[in-house]
Every structure is written in C-alpha cells, then in structure tokens.
Chains A and B, each alone.
Chain A
C-alpha cells in the first residue's frame, strides 16, 4: 500500500518555480530518500504534503486521503522535522514539548521522556538559551513524541554532531523497524545511501529519476581500474568505455555494457591488479547534474 502519493504536483510561487509535475509513491514501511541540491524543490514538496502551502495544480494524498481536505486528521499520525528549527523562544523545553503533546489524542509523556533521554536533552532550559544543535534535538523529540506512522525529515542532520547524528539514525531505523514510513530529504548522499532503499532525484523542480539504490548502482557505470606493466590504453577502448585515463602503469575508466565483454578484454592482457567498483550515490547524482 502506498502511504504517500503525489499526482502531477505543481507549485509556482507567483512566477517562481517551486516544483513541476512531480509524481511518485512511497510504500508503507519504506525509507524513501529524496535528493537534490538546494533550491531543487525538496522543501516545497514536503510543505505541500503538510498543507503549509497549497499546490498550483495536481494533488497529494497521505494514507490514501487528500492531504488538504483531511489535513488536520492526517497530521495526528505525521511527524515533521524541518531543516531549520524555530520554537517559541521564551518557553522552557519541557513546556514546549508538553504544548506539542497536547495536540495529540494519545498520551505522549512516556515517549517524550524516553526520547529526551536518548537525545540527552535538558528539559529545563529556555529555548532561547539553547545552541542550534540542542534546538535541533528539541525538534527531533517534538517530531517523534506522538509516535507517528509517517515521518517527514527535511535535511534532518544539519547542526547535529557526528555522535548525535548516529543516535538519530539509530532512532529513525528503530522507528522504521516498528513499521514507520520515512520520507527523507537530504543533499548529503552518504546518509541517504546508508538509510534508504529507494530514492527520488529532483532537479530544478522536476523528478528526474526514481529507483532502488541497488538498481541505480547496478545499471550504472562501473568504475574500473586495471594495473599492469606496459599497458596500452587504446586496448581498452571498447564500446561502453568512457572517461579513459592512463597514468603510471594503470588505466582507469567507466564502463557500461556487457560485463563479459569487459572481462575478455581484461583477460587478454597480463595484469597485476584489477578493481571493479559500483559507483557511489554521489557519483551517480553528479552524473545527473552534469
């Protein structure tokens, strides 16, 4: 079952482009990576799902229901962590979290305490006295305390130190193991590669690719390095080879095509070492943006 669904979602801010004709589905229990550089339309997409803004055309559904018409009801089960967190500066952390909890029709006290413990959050400080990283922790706790079934994370790790990032990812994976669907927007591709099973790549407001990370890697260029004495680079110039580089007794190139043809070509010379790697998400991503 698809938990979230965008149908030809388009948003213009006056004449400025937000997103154009974006369609995709995210399935229940999935961690869906949503990647693109700043200004590509990641936040716009998330804000449309949360009805913070309204689409110019197209529609979006969550749990099969229209996210504008049923917004208030749907948001009982949605957690949201924005990239920049802002809360009522004069409030204490505990009061803000209690205020947040008061919107939900279930008791959130215990989960709130657990999360605050995990994130090592001091509940008695005022929001205005917190560092950015600590405000971010408040954001994480308030986004998760009502045990949502769907999470929107918009560049969630900005401002967290590596230790907290690890705790955070662990927390998200735990939530996911309980069946929570996660929509994970980021431009840090390493973390998306680590967390997500499927990704959507957005470029200048348009979704240009939606695929499994594995499929993306397998169907893409392989990075090949061949080391040997006295190599002739031209020998490797077979169909499917690009970016051929030759230096100091080693040849590097990208290869896309029948792997057997490549093996035969390599096998016909005496080599000292061969590595064939799948490209990282970052390299694939850069390829889309070249």
Chain B
C-alpha cells in the first residue's frame, strides 16, 4: 500500500462517489416518502396482486412480498438500490487498472519505484473506501428517511440492519469480478458497457432463475445471494449462498493479483 497512489486514486474517484451517493440517497428518499400513502391502500393492493399471474409477480420480484409492511415494501424497492450499487462497484472494478492502460498513463505509474502488488493494493483500498462511503450514505439515508416517514408502522431493526450490511459484500462481489474480467481481456475500450452488462446481467439472471425455478442460477448471481425479500422475511442471510459470493470474491482478488503482476502493459502503437 502506498499512500500517494491511494490518495491519487481516491481523488480521481471522488466526483463519481459523490454523484452515486447523492443519487442513491435521493432514490431512497423517493421510495420511502411514498410509503405512508402506499400503506393506506396496501390491503387493496395485496388483494389485487393476488389476482396477478404468478409469473408476472415473479418477474418483478413481488412473489410472497407483503407490501403492507414497512420492510416488505422497503425490501422490494431496495432491489433498485442494489442494481445501482452493482453498476457502481462494477464500474470501479472494470476501471481500476484498465483506465490507466486505455489512457496510456500506466507507463507513468509502472515505471515508478513501486511494485505492481503495491499499486493494485493501493488502488483496491481506494476503490473500497469509495464504496464504503457510498454504503454509509445508503445506510444513513435509509435510517433517517425510514424514521421520518414510517408513521405508525413498526419494523424489525435486525432485519433492516442485516439488509443494509449486506451491501458491502454485495459491492465487493462486483468490484472483484469486474477487476478480474478486466485483467482477463486484452483491452477495455469503455468501462460503462462492461459494468452495465455485469450489473444488469446478474439481475436478469436472478429474475430468470425465479421464473424458471432454476436453482442453478441462484448459485451465480449475488442478487440471489443477497435477495432483500429473503433477508427481510427470515431476518437472516442465506448463509450458503453468501458463502458462494465470498468464495467468488476471494478467487477473483487472488486471480487479479496473479494476472496483474504478470501482465504485459501494451504500448502505444
């Protein structure tokens, strides 16, 4: 870890961190503020939903969800926060070393007296700090807005806490997988399509998994490993699935170090 690289990275990410954090806080504000008006008609809504075809409900992740309870409602909408978190983390993962190669600044950094392991560690820690800042904003805004708008409703704090804490591992998954993919390909021309692909792709996989009842797909996607409905209903993480995420993270990180320390840095042609 080198402090100068860490701060350089952190400064370069700061604008993006602020944008993502504020957007997610705004998203949570909009969702939660609508709850009180929503709760009034929730009984009606639940009745209506019971008449919807099963497949449609599954597609929107509304199966077995009780929108009349605060956490049932919050858990359902938290999926959209998760999609944002996934895309943000994947963007940082894909860009961590590939941006320097695309903009040819890798030559500058790698001819300095630092090892590649030090470079990667510093960059990873900077990205991790950026993600933790976003996570903290999500935590704080969730608590504050829920307290502001919950009205007479009550909720189980343990369930909310577990849901909110899960996003750290959730983001790490996309950071690590994005990073290792970026090191497996020769060159990434633009980070955004990759990050959107990974983020949405995993979400779509989880939806398909629900619709097809395929438990194999559950194994792959963190949207299943950290399914908000499951956490809210069981007041617990789905431990075996979470462990899959952790294993993928560890393998991706180890793989990234191995690949990066052996990588041939492309020259301007």
User: Is the beta-carbon distance between B267 and A72 smaller than 8 angstroms?
Assistant: no
Given A99-B8, A103-B4, verify A86-B267 contact (CB < 8 Å).
no
User: Is the beta-carbon distance between A75 and B111 smaller than 8 angstroms?
Assistant: yes
Chain A neighbourhood of B268, CB < 8 A: 82-84, 86
Given A53-B265, A54-B262, A99-B8, verify A86-B108 contact (CB < 8 Å).
yes
User: Is the beta-carbon distance between B105 and A104 smaller than 8 angstroms?
Assistant: no
Residue among B2, B107, B111 with the highest chain A CB neighbour number at 10 A: B111
User: Is the beta-carbon distance between B112 and A75 smaller than 8 angstroms?
Assistant: yes
Interface of B is mostly: loop
Proximity bits, B96-130, A CB within 8 Å = 1, else 0: 00000001111110111111001000000000000
Within A37-54, the residues touching B (CB, 8 Å) are 43-44, 47, 50-54
CB-nearest residue of chain B to A146: B113
- With the chains together, A73 CA to B112 CA distance in Å? 9
- Cross-interface CB contact of B113 among A13, A73, A82, A99, cutoff 8 Å: A73
User: Is the beta-carbon distance between A54 and B112 smaller than 8 angstroms?
Assistant: no
Within A2-57, the residues touching B (CB, 8 Å) are 13, 43-44, 47, 50-54
Chain B neighbourhood of A73, CB < 8 A: 113
Given A72-B114, A76-B113, A104-B113, verify A52-B108 contact (CB < 8 Å).
no
User: Is the beta-carbon distance between B105 and A88 smaller than 8 angstroms?
Assistant: yes
Chain A neighbourhood of B110, CB < 8 A: 50-52
A102 within 8 Å of B by Cβ? yes
B126 → A minimal CB distance (Å)? 14
B118 → A minimal CB distance (Å)? 8
- With the chains together, A76 CA to B12 CA distance in Å? 25
Chain A neighbourhood of B118, CB < 8 A: 72
Chain A neighbourhood of B4, CB < 8 A: 99, 102-103
A80 within 8 Å of B by Cβ? yes
Chain B neighbourhood of A90, CB < 8 A: 12
Proximity bits, B243-269, A CB within 8 Å = 1, else 0: 000000000000000000010110110
A231 → B minimal CB distance (Å)? 52
- With the chains together, A44 CA to B269 CA distance in Å? 11
Chain A neighbourhood of B112, CB < 8 A: 75, 100, 103
Chain B neighbourhood of A279, CB < 8 A: none
Given A47-B267, A99-B8, verify A52-B113 contact (CB < 8 Å).
no
B129 → A minimal CB distance (Å)? 18
- With the chains together, A121 CA to B83 CA distance in Å? 46
- Cross-interface CB contact of B264 among A54, A71, A72, A75, cutoff 8 Å: A54
Within A80-115, the residues touching B (CB, 8 Å) are 80, 82-84, 86-90, 99-100, 102-104
User: Is the beta-carbon distance between A71 and B115 smaller than 8 angstroms?
Assistant: yes
A206 → B minimal CB distance (Å)? 19
Residue among B107, B114, B115 with the highest chain A CB neighbour number at 10 A: B107
CB-nearest residue of chain A to B99: A88
- With the chains together, A84 CA to B107 CA distance in Å? 10
Chain B neighbourhood of A104, CB < 8 A: 113
Proximity bits, B144-177, A CB within 8 Å = 1, else 0: 0000000000000000000000000000000000
Chain A neighbourhood of B113, CB < 8 A: 72-76, 103-104
- With the chains together, A50 CA to B110 CA distance in Å? 8
User: Is the beta-carbon distance between B111 and A52 smaller than 8 angstroms?
Assistant: yes
A78 within 8 Å of B by Cβ? yes
Chain A neighbourhood of B12, CB < 8 A: 88, 90
Shortest 9 CB-CB distances between A and B: which pairs? Answer: A86-B104, A75-B113, A103-B112, A53-B264, A102-B4, A76-B113, A52-B265, A72-B115, A80-B111
What are 15 A-B pairs at a CB distance below 8 A? A43-B267, A50-B110, A52-B111, A54-B264, A71-B115, A73-B113, A74-B113, A76-B113, A80-B107, A83-B268, A86-B108, A87-B105, A88-B12, A88-B105, A104-B113
B interface list, Cβ under 8 A from A? 2, 4, 8, 12, 103-108, 110-115, 118, 262, 264-265, 267-268
Q: Kindly list 18 other residue pairs between chains A and B, CB separation below 8 angstroms, not including A50-B110, A87-B108.
A: A51-B110, A53-B264, A53-B265, A54-B262, A71-B115, A72-B118, A75-B112, A78-B111, A84-B104, A86-B104, A86-B105, A88-B105, A99-B4, A99-B8, A100-B108, A100-B112, A103-B2, A103-B112
